Amino acid sequence: MRKVSIDQLEPGMVLERPILRGSTVFLGKGVVLGETAISRLRSMEIEHAFVEGSEEQPISRDEAMTLLDERFRNKEDDPLLKHIKNLVREHIAGLYD
């Protein structure tokens, strides 16, 4: 799932989450966006939509790994936390593949 601002929507993108107007569904999940739908969305008061595809990461892989180390500062001796950290590291690495 990828979050894109309404200005960056392009025809052919597929909605991963429905778009609501009030409490009713305006466009459902799985809808392929066309020109008309996009211009309607631009006239509504919404900022983002969720479409298929993978999220662009806000920081570089190296930065993400440095931050991970910082969060686990002083926890190197705990085998359980070390194990969790490894799983999180794999997960973060996967986001950059």
Partner 1 sequence: MTERIDIRNMRTRTEAINALPTVPSALKQISAMFEKPRLSIDELSGFISGDPALTSKILKMVNSAAYGFPNRISSISHAIMLLGFNVVRGLLLGVSVFDLMQKNIAGLWEHSVGCAVAARCIAQKKNLQEPEEVSICGLLHDIGKVILILHYPREYETVLAKARDEGISLFEAEQSRFEATHADVGSWLARKWRFPVNLAEAIEYHHTPHLSRQAKLETAIVHVSDILVRARGIGINGDMLVPDIHPESWTLLQLTDDDVRDILAELETAASEAEDL
H-type alpha helices, 21-78: 35-42, 61-71
Site for partner 1 in 28-67 (CB under 8 A): 47-48, 50, 55, 67
- Are the beta carbons of 41 and 48 closer than 8 angstroms? no
Say which amino acid occupies 48: H
Binding-site size for partner 1 (CB under 8 A) equals 32
CB burial string 19-36: b at 16+ within 10 A, e below:
beeeeeeebeeebebeee
Work out how close the CB of 12 gets to partner 1 at its nearest, in angstroms, rounded to a whole number: 21
Considering only 14, 25, 44, 93, the residue that binds partner 1 (CB under 8 A) is: 25
Per-residue DSSP letter, 48: E
Considering only 6, 18, 26, 31, the residue that binds partner 1 (CB under 8 A) is: 18
Contact residues: partner 1, CB under 8 A: 1, 3, 17-18, 20, 22-25, 47-48, 50, 55, 67-68, 70-75, 78, 80-81, 84-85, 87-88, 90-92, 95
